Amino acid sequence: MSQDAPSNQPAPTKFVGVPTETFPDERRVAIAPANVATLKKAGVKVLVQTGAGTPAGYADDEYASAGAELVADRDAIFRRAQIILQVRTAGANVEAGADDRQRLHEGQTLIGMCDPLLGAGIMQDLADRGVTSYALELLPRITRAQSMDVLSSQASIAGYKAVLMAAAQLPRMCPMMMTAAGTIAPARFFVLGAGVAGLQAIATAKRLGAVVWSYDVRPAVKEEVLSLGAKFLEIELVKSADTKSGGYAEEMDEDFYRRQRQAMMSVIQESDVIIATAAIPGRKAPMLVTKEMVEHMPNGSIIIDLAAESGGNCALTKPREIIVQHGVTIDGTINVPATVPYHSSQMYGRNITTFLLHLLKDGKPDGKSDDEILRETLVTHGGEVVNARVRETLGLPKLDDSSTGAPATDAPLNVADERLSDSIDKAATDKSAEQEVTEPTEDASQDS
């Protein structure tokens, strides 16, 4: 028998841990029961903390039926699992996640939303602990990565829910209605930012019968806005260069935003609802709605600020609070996708499962993978911060071409066994049949 032939011994089981989320008011869970079944087909053993899916509407029995092992002890999850899957972790859960960072150990892999640019110091702490971490916010905007794109899936939910939040608080109805008691004029919505959240907000507001305007610095989105039946506000200013942003919104200078705000005043003072979605990953949100603009809005109007967690697009926004200023309700609710936990968990679970299967097939978290998806999302490995953007934020020198942040003798994340690879391929093929959510095929831009 050839020495190169695969062994008849089964590949060692890879253990993946899914602990309960600890971020305040977080109701999502990293994977749904259907994802457990997908991973089981790939030869992965899933450990789920008891009650992890309950806030999202997934019972423990559903996970057990899908093949997961329920574990009551959180410490045991972190001790036994080689890979930890979370929704908000590291820099995206600074205070409540501190205990979990102490539980992580050398050689362990962490995958989730990490907020690695604003939480760069925490990523350095993970590196010091010898943890390999992948930040899903850093996924490149390429076609191959669409099924893993957590920002797009969660932003879509945020845009949808933002309109419902506005409609629930608005002291008027959204559609035009012609009745014996007279004609009711439709509500007027203004959506700031026409990326994933913005486009979903436009579509939802139109379904409710509102008149919708939208504005975005990227001229390329005009056709998408018009195709949804909204009106696009054109402002003759220097536009954001789409080709340089990788699909994400770019940060502009303050003079640009000042002239932009002046141009938007006429629409804002006639708007019943503003849905603000403009955000730049890793940066403070641009201030688009000034106190003066709020003062000129109709009494009883609503602002839903989806950028509240990163500072807000409205000057008066208070994160986590709903306030009334000058007769205008300003909603600073953060983490809006967590308010629709069943489907946001389902979509997030599909994203992270697809990413994990992709990672297990590649199997070499060395920072120099030929695969753009893994190379761009890998933040820490081998005791170092290896992501160029995070290193720049920390003021660290660039890694030279020969440096990977890991020794050349590092073992692959998975055992190089042909049968494991085959099972992963099969699981990736089968998983779409087990999920009722279908990810969009177009390459959407990021706004929230």
How confident is the model over 306-349, as pLDDT tens digits?
A: 999 999 999 999 999 999 999 999 999 999 999 999 999 999 99
Centroid of chain to Cα 405: 26
CB 448 within 8 Å of CB 193: yes
State residue 362's pLDDT score.
Answer: 67
Q: Which of the residues 86, 108, 152, 214 is marked catalytic?
A: 152
CB atoms near residue 218 (< 10 Å): 20
Please give the full DSSP string across 146-190, using - where no structure is assigned: GGG-HHHHHHHHHHHHHHHHHHHH-SS-SS-EEETTEEEPPPEEE
Q: Which of the residues 149, 272, 331, 366 is marked catalytic?
A: 149
Q: Which of the residues 248, 272, 350, 375 is marked catalytic?
A: 248
State residue 282's pLDDT score.
Answer: 79
Is 3 assigned a catalytic role? no
Is 248 assigned a catalytic role? yes
Q: Which of the residues 141, 172, 259, 389 is marked catalytic?
A: 141
Is 25 assigned a catalytic role? no
Taken in order of first residue, the domains within the chain and their CATH numbers are 14-149+341-434 (3.40.50.720), 155-331 (3.40.50.720)
Rg (alpha carbons) of the chain, rounded to whole number: 23
Q: Is 10 exposed, middle or buried (0-12, 13-18, 19+ CB in 10 A)?
A: exposed
State residue 217's pLDDT score.
Answer: 86
CB 223 within 8 Å of CB 419: no
Helix (H) or strand (E) holding 15: strand 14-18
d(CA 305, CA 307): 5
pTM of the full predicted structure?
A: 0.85
3-state secondary structure of 198: helix
The angle subtended at Cα 83 by Cα 31 and Cα 409, nearest 5°, is 150
Q: In which residue ranges of the chain is pLDDT below 70? A: 1-12, 237-252, 362-369, 401-448
Is 245 assigned a catalytic role? no
d(CA 122, CA 200): 33
Is 425 assigned a catalytic role? no
Q: Which of the residues 49, 146, 445, 446 is marked catalytic?
A: 146
State residue 8's pLDDT score.
Answer: 56
Residue written as token pair 């060395």: 366
